[in-house]
Each structure stands twice: as structure tokens, then as C-alpha cells.
Amino acid sequence: MMRIAVVAVSVILLLLAVVWGYQRQLIYLPDTSAARVGGNDVVLQTSDGLLLDASLVPARQPDRGIAVLVANGNGGNRAGRAPLAQALAAEGMTVLLFDYRGYGGNEGSPTERGLARDVRAAQRYLVEKAGLPPERIIYFGESLGGAVVTALATEAAPGGLVLRSPFVDLASVGREHYPFLPVRLLLRDKFPLAEQLAGVKVPVVVVYGSADSIVPPSQSRSVAQAAPTLKDLVEIAGADHNDASLVHGPSVIAAVVRLADQL
């Protein structure tokens, strides 16, 4: 019996070691091919010296003088967000799409700290190169990107914040998919979205799908409750995490337009 117990403990420790070492391969699912979006190709420089490919999609007339900085979720690359950018541009907003480190042909490997540097470089480009005042920029974060832009908002306040399919924190989502693991203890990247959102005073919009199988709708509703200045809570009936209606559908675009109208 003692030997069986020792073997069992050894197997568990081995499993935990594997999860610790390879967890980022489970969290970040990049498309490493070069992305083609349209608009103007630009390059962002991060504070640790990486060069990131990005696309600036200009607003159609009449131009609102507002930019939307889009922070992607954990999968694909910016090419998958092209329909979102085109729809927002048609509403008179300039849109900046960019790829994180390790995505879309960019060098580097994604981590929570690295993504924070990447989105900061995107915000800096809009302010310093494109000439947009910070209060005329809307941060749009999808899923994991919602945590990325919320962290950015704590240090560089935007005009408003749109969170699509946000989660409370990464551990809360991890428990949904790996209930047999001590996820909170194992995670190296935390992404404490709701905790950080409590200190963000700008207008916040939360959009989620009622049938989201990746981020439970209850998580997104909890995020909305954590927002000190919630302006809009939009549920898209029947939408799963990657459905077009939730990625770039009319209800999503309308929610961004309503926020832009308030700026």
C-alpha cells in the first residue's frame, strides 16, 4: 500500500510539473502566419525592444475623431479581426489592430507581462504617432484581451472601455475547464480583470453571448458588476464565444457606437 501511495504521489507531482511547464501552450494559441488586413501597415515598438506588426484602418467619412484599439483574444491573429475593424471604420472610427508577441509572425513568446508591453506600445502609437488624445481612444478587448486592456486602463485611461466576453480572472475560467486541477495555485499568468476593473473610472461596456462555452456568461456578468461606471450590458442571445454575431455582429458594433456617442 505504501508503494502504491508513493507511486500515486509521484504521478500527481509529475502531472503538476507538466502543467506548470506547458501551461502557456494551453493559454496562448497563436496563428504565427503573417496577417493581411488592409488599411495601413504600421510597426509598433515595445519597451523591451520588440517590433510588432499592426494595421491602422482609417475611418470612413464622417470621421468621428475617435480611435478603437483592439486587443485580441488568445487565438488566431489580427486577420481574424478584419471584419470588426471594417465595421467600426464604416461608423467613422479609426481602428488599430495589432498582433501580440509570438502572433502573426512577430518575434517573442506571449506572457501576461509581455502582452502588457505590447498593448502599451499600441496605445503609445495612437497618441504619439497618430495624434489621438487619450480621451478619444476606446479600448476594445475580446476575452483575454479584455484583461489586457483593463490592465492598460489602470495606467493610461482611455475615453471608454469595451469588454467582449470578459472573465473575472484567468483562474476562474481555468476552473471551468480543468476542475480537477488546483488552477489558481498553478497559474503563472493571472490576468485579474475584475480586480483591476474596480479601479477604472471610465465608461465601461460589457458584451457577452448567452451560449458562450469558453467564458461562462456568469463570468461576464460578474465583470459588469465590478465596473464602477458601467454604461451598457449587452447580451447576445444564443451566441457562442467565436460566433460572428459576438465577434463583429451588429449588436457589438452598435454598443461601440453608443459609447463613442458619449465621448
Residues 112-136 have pLDDT tens digits of: 999 999 999 999 999 999 999 999 9
Q: What is the pLDDT of residue 10?
A: 42
d(CA 190, CA 167): 11
Coil/strand/helix, residue 205: strand
Residue 176: pLDDT band by 50, 70, 90 thresholds?
confident
Give the count of alpha carbons within 13 A of 125, CB side only: 28
d(CA 87, CA 111): 30
The single residue listed with the C-alpha cell 508513493 is 6
pTM: 0.91
Q: What is the pLDDT of residue 11?
A: 37
Q: What is the pLDDT of residue 23?
A: 66
Residues 6+ apart with CB under 8 A from 200: 150, 153, 154, 157, 161, 227, 228, 229
Residues 6+ apart with CB under 8 A from 82: 37, 38, 97
Least confident of 12-16, 29-33, 49-53, 95-99: 12-16
Q: What is the pLDDT of residue 19?
A: 53
Q: Answer whether residue 106 shows pLDDT above 90.
A: yes
Surface-to-core class of residue 102, CB atoms within 10 Å of its CB (0-12 exposed, 13-18 middle, 19+ buried): buried
Could you tell me which of 189, 202, 81, 49 has the C-alpha nearest to residue 134? 202
Q: What is the pLDDT of residue 21?
A: 52
Q: What is the pLDDT of residue 8?
A: 40
